[in-house]
Amino acid sequence: MKVVILAGGYGTRISEESHLKPKPMIEIGNMPILLHIMKIYSHYGFNDFVICLGYKGYLIKEYFAHYFLHKSDITFDFENDKQTIHSNNVEPWKVTLVDTGLGTLTGSRIKKVEKYLNNETFMLTYGDGVSDINILELIKQHKEDKKLLTLTASLPSGRFGSLDINADNSLNGFIEKPKGDNNYINAGFMVVEPEFLKYIQSNVMLENEPIEQATSENEVSAYKHKGCFYPMDTIRDMTKLNEMWDKGEALWKIWT
């Protein structure tokens, strides 16, 4: 099953970094968040990726063009015009990089890579969020529900801690950043049937007309993920993810 990753947006909310590189190439622990996402899927045996490029997509192409050299020990013998690979630490990935345009919206980016999907069920996610999701359980539910689209629903952590106040106004305690009040968000990590693409007829956001129309026809189900999900929308998010990584608290690091 192929994995489609949306990696073409401008990333305007994190422009301090994205003015230099596309958001999926912003690093968490000296590794682009895009690779964190790919390693999550690869942990479950999914190694065939189709990446939808847009803003500064050439930087992603250049990264993967030199990926083998980045991940291997190598000796360059300039006098004899030779290079020797001493160790090969690269993943068993097949990566298709597709320029889907600068102004293309998320739904239309998927439509533009349709020819690479072989009219088969595929997985889909955004290039800026990580999770400890069990991909196999997600796929299992998708098959059981028999819908055209299964998306992952997650309860986001609160941005602020909350106060537990007694009826007499005395403070009972402090709750650090509790989960949201049962308001689930779309965490990405979707499984999609090829027939879903019929809902994409113009330059549209995936979350708008396509998912809304499919929902109205009872063709969308939600996989409730109770573990972690961390989107990287702002510098604050990036800083938090790097702190977690540096402290060995990156809950999404399920690979070895």
Looking only at the bridges linking them, the beta strands covering 185-186 and 94-99 are: unpaired
Domain boundaries, the chain: 2-153+183-246
Residue 121 has pLDDT above 80, yes or no: yes
The phi, psi pair for 4, rounded to 5°, reads -95, 130
pLDDT at 67: 87
- Tens of pLDDT along 123-135? 999 999 999 999 9
pLDDT at 209: 94
- Tens of pLDDT along 43-52? 999 999 999 9
* Residues linked to residue 162 through DSSP beta bridges, in sequence order: 175
Q: Does domain 2-153+183-246 have CATH number 3.90.550.10?
A: yes
Q: What is the pTM of this model?
A: 0.89
Q: How many CB atoms lie within 10 A of CB 213?
A: 16
Residue 150 has pLDDT above 90, yes or no: yes
- Tens of pLDDT along 68-120? 777 788 899 999 999 888 877 778 999 999 999 999 999 999 999 999 999 99
Mean confidence (pLDDT) of the chain: 92
Q: pLDDT-derived band of residue 253, with 50, 70 and 90 as boundaries?
A: very high
Q: What is residue 166's DSSP assignment? A: -
pLDDT at 106: 97
**What is the arithmetic mean of pLDDT over 216-241?**
95
pLDDT at 55: 97
b/e map 169-195, b = 16+ CB within 10 Å: eeeeeeeeeeeeeeeeebbbbbbbbee
pLDDT at 151: 96
The beta strands (E) that lie in 168-253 are given as 171-175, 185-186, 190-192, 220-225, 229-231
* Residues linked to residue 77 through DSSP beta bridges, in sequence order: 82
Residue 136 has pLDDT above 80, yes or no: yes
